[in-house]
């Protein structure tokens, strides 16, 4: 099986959203949206990768593939939980009622039905796609609840007295919304409540809700939020919310953070690691396949913490500790893992990483990828964090096609897809800079 280190990449062809992220029987399982036939979006399967430490990943066989009428045109995103030693995968099954005659992997005029489905595995490695799938929530016909086509991405978690599920949907008045369901046995689900917010787009994808010591966090990937004309409108956002479990009542504030200020990451999904930390990863959107062969990868697993009303995304300590070998030049770096730069950025400081430029301006970290990113439409080249109040320490993880900049241990993060990255590093106006690799 193909193996990846640090950044989990497509084993070939296409991947997008992370799915079913879970620590199960001593291993981390990360499933993902996968079209195994070409490096383009198509009929979705679930790929599967396994790790013991969140650093070294081994790709396994495809876990889910279309096999039922309800999912014959795709096994869309979802999540995983464990009960009595078994692994339960929840996902959205899609049935096209009007496929494109020129490309059966696409649908015309949104004429499709979305059902919420379940497949249970005894061991997390064998998945009976023909005998053990079942529909747990049929396509929604009541428009006052949700949309028949645009309801998807079930995230399931264990509450105090029951199991809960949140789905993203489109409301009758064309607003993004959440639907909450409740179950005592994971197979029979009862609709409880909904939540929405004006001005947050027309459809909410990949919802994720969890509690941390510092607050209750909601992750969303809304479609149709207003952009500034220089960025894709579809971004993953996060906010601190008020949630009452018994009634599934959620109050969503007006303010939010971006998951990542590089604006390339999307569809984040979280889980709990072996030590009880809340962690997440997300899909890096790429404008074209690498060498025409593969498209899609995931960011470093990040620990989510809330402090003084701010959500931090820190590099997982397993990853950080692996970058322990100090090197004197990029040419000494591990070819598969890349390298880490650690430095303090000063006012008007400048750093060029193989053509990718980073500077400190107006108390913000600003980046420019125009020299390592071709002229792709709808993709932004310049990025910046919000204003940083104190000093500025950077930990920068550099891969051939992904650069992740962690500002002040996760106060803000900028992650970007790059192409044709060179090996030279140039800097001025910064403190001591150290290089590390695995």
Q: How confident is the model at residue 233 (pLDDT cuts 50, 70, 90)?
A: low
Lowest average pLDDT, out of 73-77, 114-118, 173-177, 373-377, goes to 373-377
Q: How confident is the model at residue 225 (pLDDT cuts 50, 70, 90)?
A: confident
Tell me the torsion sign for CA atoms 197, 199, 205, 208.
Answer: negative
Q: How confident is the model at residue 232, as a pLDDT?
A: 53
pLDDT at 393 over 80: yes
pLDDT tens digits, one per residue of 94-126: 999 999 999 999 999 999 999 999 999 999 999
Cα-based distances in Å from 289 to 42, 96, 294, 296: 14, 27, 5, 8
* Pairing assessment for the beta strands 203-212 and 215-223 based on DSSP bridges: antiparallel
User: In whole angstroms, how large is the CA radius of gyration of the chain?
Assistant: 21
352 phi and psi angles, rounded to 5 deg: -115, 115
pLDDT at 280 over 90: yes
Q: How confident is the model at residue 231, as a pLDDT?
A: 52
Question: What pTM, to 2 d.p., does this model score?
Answer: 0.97
pLDDT at 230 over 80: no
Taking the CA atoms of residue 268, residue 274, residue 275 and residue 281 in that order, the dihedral angle to the nearest 10 degrees is: -10
Q: Average pLDDT for residues 279-295, to the nearest whole number?
A: 97
Q: How confident is the model at residue 226, as a pLDDT?
A: 75
pLDDT tens digits, one per residue of 33-70: 999 999 999 999 999 999 999 999 999 999 999 999 99
The domains of the chain, with CATH numbers, are: 3-318 (2.115.10.20), 323-437 (2.60.120.560)
Kindly give, in sequence order, each residue whose CB lies less than 8 Å from that of residue 158, ignoring residues fewer than 6 positions away.
Answer: 81, 164
Three-state DSSP class for residue 370 = helix
- Provide the β-strand partners of residue 125: none
pLDDT tens digits, one per residue of 396-415: 999 999 999 999 999 999 99
H runs (alpha helix) in 173-285: none
Q: Average pLDDT for residues 165-183, to the nearest whole number?
A: 97
The helix (run of H) or strand (run of E) holding residue 320 is helix 317-322
Q: How confident is the model at residue 49, as a pLDDT?
A: 98
Q: How confident is the model at residue 271 (pLDDT cuts 50, 70, 90)?
A: very high
């Amino acid at each position: 099986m193909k193996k990846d280190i640090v950044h989990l990449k497509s084993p070939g062809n296409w991947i997008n959203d992370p799915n079913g992220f879970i620590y199960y029987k001593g291993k981390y399982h990360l499933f993902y949206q996968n079209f195994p036939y070409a490096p383009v979006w198509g009929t979705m399967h679930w790929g599967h990768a396994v790790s013991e430490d969140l650093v070294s990943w081994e790709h396994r066989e495809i876990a889910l593939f279309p096999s039922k009428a309800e999912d014959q045109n795709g096994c869309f995103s979802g999540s995983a939980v464990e009960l009595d030693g078994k692994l339960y995968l929840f996902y959205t099954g899609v049935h096209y009622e009007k496929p494109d005659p020129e490309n059966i992997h696409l649908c015309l005029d949104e004429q499709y039905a979305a059902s919420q489905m379940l497949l249970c595995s005894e061991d997390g490695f064998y998945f009976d796609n023909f005998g053990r799938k079942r529909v747990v929530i049929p396509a929604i016909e009541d428009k006052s609840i949700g949309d028949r086509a645009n309801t998807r991405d079930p995230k399931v978690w264990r509450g105090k007295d029951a199991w809960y599920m949140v789905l993203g949907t489109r409301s009758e008045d064309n607003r993004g919304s959440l639907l909450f369901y409740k179950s005592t046995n994971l197979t029979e689900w009862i609709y409880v409540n909904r939540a929405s917010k004006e001005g947050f787009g027309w459809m909410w994808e990949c919802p994720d809700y969890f509690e941390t010591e510092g607050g209750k966090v909601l992750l969303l990937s809304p479609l149709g939020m207003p952009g500034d004309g220089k960025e894709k409108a579809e971004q993953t956002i996060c906010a601190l919310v008020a949630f009452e479990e018994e009634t599934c009542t959620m109050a969503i504030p007006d303010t939010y953070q971006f998951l990542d200020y590089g604006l390339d990451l999307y569809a984040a999904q979280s889980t709990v690691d072996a030590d009880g930390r809340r962690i997440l990863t997300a899909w890096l959107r790429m404008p074209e396949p690498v060498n025409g062969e593969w498209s899609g990868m995931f960011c470093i697993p990040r620990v989510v913490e809330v402090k003084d009303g701010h959500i931090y995304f820190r590099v997982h300590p397993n990853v950080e500790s692996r970058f322990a070998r100090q090197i004197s030049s990029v040419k000494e770096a591990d070819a598969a893992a890349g390298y880490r730069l650690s430095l303090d950025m000063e006012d008007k400081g400048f750093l060029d990483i193989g053509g990718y430029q980073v500077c400190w301006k107006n108390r913000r970290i600003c980046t420019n990828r125009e020299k390592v990113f071709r002229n792709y439409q709808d993709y932004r080249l310049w990025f910046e964090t919000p204003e940083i109040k104190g000093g500025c320490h950077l930990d920068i993880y550099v891969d051939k096609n992904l650069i992740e900049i962690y500002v002040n241990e996760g106060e803000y993060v900028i992650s970007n897809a790059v192409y044709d990255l060179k090996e030279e590093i140039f800097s001025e106006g910064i403190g001591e800079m150290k290089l590390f690799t695995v």
